[in-house]
């Protein structure tokens, strides 16, 4: 039986476990990346492990999230990351060099390699044939130290593409169609591979747009073949030696197959407040637009912005629309500047932001109250933009450009098509803003600089066989990490200060939760299905840990967040019968029994003493994760293993 692309890479990197459904496997990791919103914590965790030098082929620290320096906090974190990266052997991409996923795709990602990053959109590199996965910062720290990265062995799914995209229909419309079909829960436990003749018609940046938003499916990752298109991209980046051919065997077997005819697609939009709330753009034609933001790690490539520039050339943005554009990398911005496209954008009325995540992570450009914002981003969760009552729509660059001219959501296929935008034969390569680490013999003399905003890591309490604590919070389905630990310009600067972050935990759902949790001596959270979807931010586990949460009881969990809970030492439990969720209310006194034995047996009993009922719970974790929970989290577990 033949192998899929992902199976071939997994087989080549397998260090532990059996490659079979239901089994946990450990993978050797070739590359890691961090960004500054999660990186400070990841490097504090790496430092705590006591390993002097990273053991990966390549590790890169990017500064792209917390670039708004309205106080000392972000600048201090950047300085800490820069100095510790220099000391431990990590390359440092300076502020302004670009968004981690765009830069990594351009300069570092390689077909056939494994990559994990402390950002959920790390699968962007799957567009170049890399097995790239988002992970919690502690998992990344362990991988940098030479440890394996563990995942449940995923199912293999094929999205078979045929035909070719029509003019003004883009790769963003492809992934929105996949989200429409599969929903935000449809990819859980799966690797999504793209194949078929239609793949040959998609450039590497287009492929990366699709794999980037595969994170919104809940998928382990998404991946494309490495073919002649990939080879041409790497040659244009001056990296021809990094190319290897990689494709699925003709007789590869997939657990599920979806067929999509690219030529049948029309422009789509994800409507508020979920990436899978997808509708045709033409059905939204009378929707007035207040703001358009173009950029993010999803749609800020050279060809994306060249298309936008061509659509806006000689025209003026509607006076009632604010247009902001953030090029994905300094490479992209340089090329736009040199060929005149930047002037076309400026003359049309665009506001050019720095090459960073910016509005996507709530770092500025919040829309007006009750406003409609069209964004070429990957998430439109309620409040993520910084404006609670804004309606955020996720669209392609073509739809965004068309709409900022008319002032209404506009189907770009109703406009004259833009032609002649091709991938360049040579990109402008300049890596002078990626600092190399100190040589190993010089590392001891490097001083790691840290500011007063960097606080100690929270630690888990020892696990007991019985825990009697109140239900401190009850939330519904599809709770995101943005609900648990919001982003935005007011909160992101405190990513290395867990005590300060604690006051914002779950403020979108229940602003009284932090005070209630701090007044209690520990407690539980009860959640619905797909609890913890969204970003990889481990703060969504570390902050509840600081607030005394001992277990989260949910209908089901998103993959990365469940792993982050385990890594923090918080017990993730699931209802054996989903309707038992309805029986528990906020404030009920709950008792968990058989906790220690349940780590191995997979069953824990919950007694709701307020309602007088017994509810069976599942403890669906691996034997390795059970040991992590017993040790009080992954950091303690790693130290213990190193000691042995």
Average pLDDT over residues 408-414: 98
Return d(Cα 312, Cα 413) in angstroms, integer: 15
Domain with 279, as residue range(s), is 270-411
Average pLDDT over residues 484-507: 91
| Total number of domains in the chain | 3
186 found inside a domain: yes
pLDDT exceeding 70 applies to what percent of the chain? 100
Cβ proximity of 476 and 450 under 8 Å: no
E strand or H helix that includes residue 521 = none
Kindly report the backbone phi and psi dihedral angles of residue 31, in degrees, each rounded to the nearest multiple of 5, phi listed first: -135, 150
Q: What is the CATH number of the domain that holds 602?
A: 3.20.19.10
293 found inside a domain: yes
pLDDT at position 643 is 64
Would you call the peptide bond into 180 cis, given omega within 30 degrees of 0 as the criterion? no
Q: Give the alpha-carbon dihedral of 262, 276, 285, 319, to 10 degrees.
A: -110
529 found inside a domain: yes
User: CA quadruple 535, 536, 539, 545: dihedral positive or negative?
Assistant: positive
Q: What is the pLDDT of residues 560-581, one digit of tens each?
A: 999 999 999 999 999 999 999 9
Average pLDDT over residues 33-56: 94
Cβ proximity of 151 and 27 under 8 Å: yes
E strand or H helix that includes residue 399 = helix 397-406
Return d(Cα 437, Cα 88) in angstroms, integer: 7
Average pLDDT over residues 151-169: 97
* More confident position, 8 or 22: 8
pLDDT at position 457 is 86
What number of other Cβ atoms are within 10 A of residue 279's Cβ? Answer: 14
Q: What is the CATH number of the domain that holds 86?
A: 3.30.499.10
Which domain-ending residue is among 264, 285, 320?
A: 264
Can you give the pTM of this predicted structure?
0.94
Which domain-ending residue is among 411, 429, 449?
A: 411
Q: Given a cut of 90, is residue 627 above it in pLDDT?
A: yes
Q: Are residues 485 and 621 in the same domain?
A: yes
Residue with tokens 């570390």: 542
Q: Are residues 405 and 487 in the same domain?
A: no
Q: Are residues 360 and 317 in the same domain?
A: yes
Q: Are residues 250 and 306 in the same domain?
A: no
339 found inside a domain: yes
Average pLDDT over residues 299-320: 98
Return d(Cα 427, Cα 132) in angstroms, integer: 23
147 found inside a domain: yes
Starting at the edge strand found earlier in the chain, the sheet holding 58-62 runs: 131-134, 114-117, 31-35, 58-62, 91-93, 434-435
pLDDT at position 149 is 97
Q: Are residues 62 and 210 in the same domain?
A: yes
631 found inside a domain: yes
Q: Given a cut of 70, is residue 644 above it in pLDDT?
A: no
Q: Are residues 161 and 303 in the same domain?
A: no
Q: Are residues 101 and 221 in the same domain?
A: yes
> DSSP assignment of 413-433, as one string?
GGSPPP------SS-----TT
Cβ proximity of 64 and 356 under 8 Å: yes
Q: Are residues 28 and 55 in the same domain?
A: yes
pLDDT at position 310 is 97
Which domain-ending residue is among 264, 286, 321?
A: 264
Q: Are residues 384 and 333 in the same domain?
A: yes
Residue 324, SS3 per DSSP: strand
Average pLDDT over residues 539-554: 97
Q: Are residues 274 and 227 in the same domain?
A: no
Q: What is the pLDDT of residues 229-241, one digit of tens each?
A: 999 999 999 999 9
SS3 of the chain: helix, strand, coil, percent, to 5:
35, 20, 40
pLDDT at position 513 is 97
100 found inside a domain: yes
CB contact set of 474 (below 8 Å; sequence gap of 6+): 525, 526, 527, 584, 585, 586
Return d(Cα 196, Cα 224) in angstroms, integer: 10
Q: Give the alpha-carbon dihedral of 178, 127, 219, 566, to 10 degrees.
A: -160
Average pLDDT over residues 141-170: 97
Q: Given a cut of 80, is residue 597 above it in pLDDT?
A: yes
Report the mean per-residue pLDDT for the chain.
96
Q: Are residues 220 and 335 in the same domain?
A: no
Which residues lie across from 435 on neighbouring strands? 92
503 found inside a domain: yes
What number of other Cβ atoms are within 10 A of residue 461's Cβ? Answer: 12
Q: Are residues 478 and 362 in the same domain?
A: no
């Amino acid at each position: 039986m033949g192998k899929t692309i992902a199976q071939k890479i997994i087989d080549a990197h397998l260090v532990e476990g059996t490659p079979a459904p239901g089994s946990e496997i450990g993978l050797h990791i070739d590359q890691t990346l961090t960004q500054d919103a999660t990186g400070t914590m990841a490097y504090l965790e790496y430092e705590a492990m006591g390993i002097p030098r990273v053991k990966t082929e390549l590790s890169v620290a990017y500064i792209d999230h917390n670039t708004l320096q309205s106080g000392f906090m972000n600048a201090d974190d950047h300085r800490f990351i820069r100095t510790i990266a220099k000391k431990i052997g990590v390359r440092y991409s300076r502020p302004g060099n670009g968004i981690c996923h765009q830069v990594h795709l351009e300069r570092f990602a390689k077909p056939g390699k494994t990559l994990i990053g402390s950002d959920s959109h790390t699968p962007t590199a799957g567009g170049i044939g890399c097995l790239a996965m988002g992970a919690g910062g502690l998992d990344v720290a362990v991988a940098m130290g030479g440890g394996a990265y563990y995942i449940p062995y995923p199912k293999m799914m094929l999205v078979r593409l045929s035909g070719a995209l029509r003019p003004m229909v883009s790769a963003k419309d492809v992934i929105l169609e996949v989200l429409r079909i599969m929903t935000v829960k449809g990819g859980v436990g799966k690797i999504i591979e793209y194949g078929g003749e239609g793949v040959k018609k998609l450039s590497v940046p287009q492929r990366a747009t699709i794999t980037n938003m595969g994170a919104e499916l809940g998928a382990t990752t998404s991946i494309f073949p490495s073919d002649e298109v990939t080879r041409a991209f790497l040659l244009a980046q001056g990296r021809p030696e990094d190319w290897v051919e990689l494709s699925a065997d003709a007789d590869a077997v997939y657990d599920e197959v979806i067929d999509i005819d690219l030529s049948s697609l029309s422009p789509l939009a994800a409507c508020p407040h979920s990436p899978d709330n997808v509708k045709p753009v033409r059905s939204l034609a009378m929707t007035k637009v207040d703001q358009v933001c173009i950029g993010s790690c999803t749609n800020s490539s050279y060809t994306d912005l060249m298309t936008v520039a061509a659509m806006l050339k000689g025209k003026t943005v509607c006076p009632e629309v604010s247009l902001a554009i953030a090029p994905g990398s300094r490479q992209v911005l340089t090329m736009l500047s040199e060929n005149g496209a930047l002037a076309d954008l400026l003359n049309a009325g665009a506001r050019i932001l720095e090459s960073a995540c910016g509005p996507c992570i709530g770092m500025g450009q919040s829309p007006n109250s009750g406003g409609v914002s069209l964004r070429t981003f990957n998430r439109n969760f309620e409040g993520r933009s910084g404006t609670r009552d804004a309606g955020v729509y996720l669209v392609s660059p073509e739809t965004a450009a068309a709409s900022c001219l008319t002032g209404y959501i506009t189907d770009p296929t109703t406009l004259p098509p833009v032609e002649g935008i091709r991938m360049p034969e040579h990109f402008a390569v300049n890596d002078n803003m990626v600092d190399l680490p100190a040589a190993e013999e010089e590392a001891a003399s490097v001083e790691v600089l840290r500011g007063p905003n960097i606080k100690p890591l929270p630690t888990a309490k020892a696990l007991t066989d019985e825990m009697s604590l109140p239900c401190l919070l009850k939330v519904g389905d599809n709770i995101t990490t943005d609900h648990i630990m919001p982003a935005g310009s007011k909160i992101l600067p405190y990513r290395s200060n867990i005590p300060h972050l604690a006051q914002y935990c779950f403020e979108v759902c229940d602003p009284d939760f932090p005070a209630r949790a701090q007044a209690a001596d520990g407690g539980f959270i009860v959640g619905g299905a797909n609890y913890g979807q969204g970003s990889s931010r481990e703060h969504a586990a570390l902050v509840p840990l600081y607030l005394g949460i001992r277990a989260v009881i949910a209908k089901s969990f998103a993959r990365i967040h469940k792993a982050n809970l385990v890594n923090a030492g918080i017990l993730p439990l699931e209802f054996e019968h989903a309707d038992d969720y309805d029986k528990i209310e906020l404030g009920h006194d709950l008792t968990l029994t058989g906790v220690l034995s349940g780590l191995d047996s997979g069953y824990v009993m919950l007694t709701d003493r307020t309602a007088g009922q017994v509810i069976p719970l599942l403890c669906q974790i691996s034997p390795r994760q059970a040991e992590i929970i017993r040790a009080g989290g992954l950091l303690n577990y790693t130290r213990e293993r190193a000691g042995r």
